[in-house]
Structure 1
Amino acid sequence: MGLGPAGRALAHRAAAAGLRVVGVDPTPDRPWTPTYAAWVDELPSWLDSSVLRARVSRPRVWTTRERSLDRAYAVLDNSALHARLGFDRVVRGVAAEIGPGTVTLRDGTQIRAARVIDSRGLRPDPALAEQTAFGIVVSEEVAAPAMAGADGWFMDWRRDNGTAPDDPASFLYAVPLGADRVLLEETCLVGRPGLPPDSLRTRLATRLRNRGVELPAAAPAERVRFPVEAPRGGSAVAAFGARAGLIHPGTGYSVAASLCAVDEVVTALTTGRDPTKALWPLPTRAVRTLREVGLRALLSLDPACTAAFFEAFFALPVDRQRAYLSGRDQPAAIAAAMWEIFRQAPPPIRRTLAAAGVRRS
């Protein structure tokens, strides 16, 4: 159920493994419009570079100073990825009821299966922390003053967006999209709730104007709002993708994690094991718990300390950054990264991190 990148990848890999698969979605042929990106080393070996729209060899960040990251980053080509994740049987419809072995659509159609997996993503929910953003797509020439010679900005926390130190922080995310296009996006990393799109639009316009870029009136816009945590609670139906909790609570990324985890679920399906247990063995549950601590810290962080916090993070060796941002099965490596940030951070940030570690959500 649900044929976004996660659901379509699961259907594709399950069909490739010899399973009979039915994918259900209200608009299965609709193009994916969000900008999906990933660290290149996150992508599974069964995908090749044909699904990449643009690549940044050394993305930059600006925390309390400028840094280059020694880790390649890429924007996915949504059309190519959609085409790559093909399988035979797709049903257009909306689920009215979903059970472990039966899906009933609104038109009364029933689909029976040995296993039903819900990959319909997550809807915004006031109880859940969320990420919000507002961006525009412009030409490379228009974007050039904002890029300042960088191939891409993963995070730019400078306060030239018209905010004061005690205002909730947001950052510029700026990446090439290929074909002479660049996405310039003002992003609220996490909030409960996140900053509203109109506020982010105003911040983006101010930031770009301060860098010599006028916001083009007719530029295509991208509005982003999604939960960065999944609701807890048992369900009779297995889930996958963001709905299963594969979204990173500290970054909002889920597509690469879903693509990498899909074969674990497919193996469980082909061997008759529980796909939820296959997706969440003990090490991955420990990783999720540690990252939830990180989310609580971000939600509690004094806005004036945001840049210093990320300076401590990006000062980590790249393998520890990778462990925290991408790995799902190395809790010791993530704990080591968190300890190093705690050790290096200024006292106000240490207090926030310590409180997050002992406070329950």
Structure 2
Amino acid sequence: MAEPVDVLVLGGGPAALCIASELNQRGVAVAAIAPDPVDDPWPNTYGIWADELKAVGLEQLLEHRWSDTVSYFGEGGSTAQDQSHAHGIDYGLFDRAALQHHWLKRADGVVFHQDTVQRVEVNGATTNVCCASGSTLQARLVIDASGSRTPHIRRPDQGPVAGQAAYGVVGRFSKLPIEPGRFVLMDYRCDHLSEEQRHEPPTFLYAMDLGDGVFFVEETSLALAPGVPYDVLKQRLQQRLDLRGVEITEVIHEEFCLFPMNLPLPDRNQPVLAFGGAASMVHPASGYMVGSLLRRGPDLAQALAEAIANPSLDSAALAQRGWQALWPIELVMRHQLYQFGLGRLMGFNEALLRTHFATFFSLPREDWFGFLTNTLPLPRLMGVMLRLFALSPWELRRGLVLGAAQDQAPRF
């Protein structure tokens, strides 16, 4: 058995590297374990509002940045219904290699083990992690940052978990799929769909100009349990492009994404701590998480570093300090509000959902930005939700409070 460390982090993705690097910067003895090499390229793209990175001084980690950021909330098919809504705030796409290198550099000195975790056993003062190779690693605290599907973190069963599903293509096209130099957050136009499809769960286009004639176009479902199948998303993306006379001439990369939007918060009394998707840190309203990692990682690491300095605290006590720092009651209540809202939106058909987002983005920019980034204090968040309700037409108010009427609910 290897010599015990202060903290053993499970995982090798953004969440794992974030918390391992922050702990390492505070002098904590850290090791990590993941089934793949920690410097393997990450497959998925990560987007973020540029002001989120500006707040933490990391704007240099963006590979692409757009000032022309818009959404479409009309049904399409006419000049009025094809009008775009300008967001007036920059959006960026991470340089994944730069983000990975940033965290690996700050994690210099962390020992990374390539192995597969089979069991996590808490034994009072320390916790053992038993691996597929037969080796056992030991730490005062284990942090599971291996993703939402981890078997090592307990959480209540609250029914089916809704997933945000997306199918996308990075490629070249016969003509421009969107305006040059533009980023499209949500295109809910539905003039490419049949009448039957319009009664099914809505999807939207998320798209961006990557430069040099390359575009990323992705058909996305906000959230559904179970998630919208990839073949449905692929078909709808093709229909959307066909209507506008756009053909894919070269596929550089295909992206398939499915991640949980309303995963219940973990049992915060368990003696193993979690971070990232394993800790339900995906924003229930937007599906974003990297900004949250960058904001919340340092505070969690500081709380843990102070707790670890006390040699009398065992694994359970250290985990308890971590859970309290990661999920204080303020954040728990905000999370519950977001989950309630998502539950309502999942019951909206495309017409009601378009009305909702058109109303939401008519709020002052600082309100909708704070809502989507989970940076509003609880009283202000509640005020924004009340303001949204006041601005909403009657049918939307009814849907937000009581749920959508039967004839406004989507169905396959």
TM-score (norm 2): 0.81
Residue 301 of structure 1 contacts residue 349 of structure 1 at CA under 8 Å; is this kept in 2?
Answer: no
For residues 110-168 of structure 1, the C-alpha deviation after alignment (integer angstroms, 9 at most, x for no partner) is 111121100111139982010001110123xx385321345110111001342433222
Higher deviation after alignment, 330-339 or 176-185: 176-185
Partner residue in 2 for 1:342: 389
Match of 1:238 among 273, 282, 295: 273
Residue 294 of structure 1 contacts residue 356 of structure 1 at CA under 8 Å; is this kept in 2?
Answer: no
Match of 2:178 among 120, 136, 147: 147
What pairs up with 1:165-314 in 2 under 5 angstroms?
A: 165-177=198-210, 180-216=213-249, 218-234=251-267, 235-272=270-307, 274-314=321-361
Matched, 1:66 2:93: no
Partner residue in 2 for 1:57: 67
TM-score (norm 1): 0.92
Distance 1:178 1:287, change over 3 A: farther
Partner residue in 2 for 1:157: 188
C-alpha separation in 1, matches of 2:137 and 2:213? 45
Distance 1:289 1:319, change over 3 A: same
C-alpha separation in 1, matches of 2:180 and 2:54? 31
C-alpha separation in 2, matches of 1:223 and 1:175? 17
Partner residue in 1 for 2:45: 35
* Partner SS, residue 245 of structure 2: coil
Partner residue in 2 for 1:25: 34
* Partner SS, residue 43 of structure 2: coil
Partner residue in 1 for 2:153: none
Residue 96 of structure 1 contacts residue 104 of structure 1 at CA under 8 Å; is this kept in 2?
Answer: yes
C-alpha separation in 2, matches of 1:123 and 1:58? 36
* Partner SS, residue 202 of structure 2: coil
Distance 1:53 1:217, change over 3 A: closer
Structure 2 unaligned spans of 5+: 1-9, 75-82, 151-156, 308-317, 405-412
What amino acid is the match of 1:346? Answer: P
Match of 1:9 among 4, 11, 18: 18
Residue 209 of structure 1 contacts residue 215 of structure 1 at CA under 8 Å; is this kept in 2?
Answer: no
Q: Which of the two has higher C-alpha Rg?
A: 2
Among the aligned pairs, what percent are the same residue?
Answer: 29
* Partner SS, residue 283 of structure 2: coil
Distance 1:122 1:206, change over 3 A: same
Partner residue in 1 for 2:139: 113
Structure 1 unaligned spans of 5+: none
Residue 54 of structure 1 contacts residue 176 of structure 1 at CA under 8 Å; is this kept in 2?
Answer: no
* Partner SS, residue 346 of structure 2: helix
Distance 1:154 1:93, change over 3 A: same
Match of 2:368 among 300, 321, 328: 321
Q: Measure how far apart 1:251 and its partner are.
A: 1.5
Distance 1:314 1:144, change over 3 A: farther
* Partner SS, residue 335 of structure 1: helix
What amino acid is the match of 1:94? Answer: T
Partner residue in 1 for 2:5: none
For residues 268-292 of structure 1, the C-alpha deviation after alignment (integer angstroms, 9 at most, x for no partner) is 1111061111011121112101101
Distance 1:163 1:114, change over 3 A: farther
C-alpha separation in 2, matches of 1:345 and 1:131? 25
CA RMSD across the alignment:
2.2
What amino acid is the match of 2:146? Answer: R
For residues 86-114 of structure 1, the C-alpha deviation after alignment (integer angstroms, 9 at most, x for no partner) is 12310001111124522111112111112
* Partner SS, residue 190 of structure 2: coil
C-alpha separation in 2, matches of 1:7 and 1:163? 44
Q: Measure how far apart 1:42 and its partner are.
A: 1.6
Q: Measure how far apart 1:45 and its partner are.
A: 5.3
Partner residue in 1 for 2:114: 92
For residues 180-204 of structure 1, the C-alpha deviation after alignment (integer angstroms, 9 at most, x for no partner) is 5321000011111221110110110
C-alpha separation in 1, matches of 2:171 and 2:291? 26
Higher deviation after alignment, 118-127 or 226-235: 118-127
What amino acid is the match of 2:332? Answer: R
* Partner SS, residue 61 of structure 1: strand
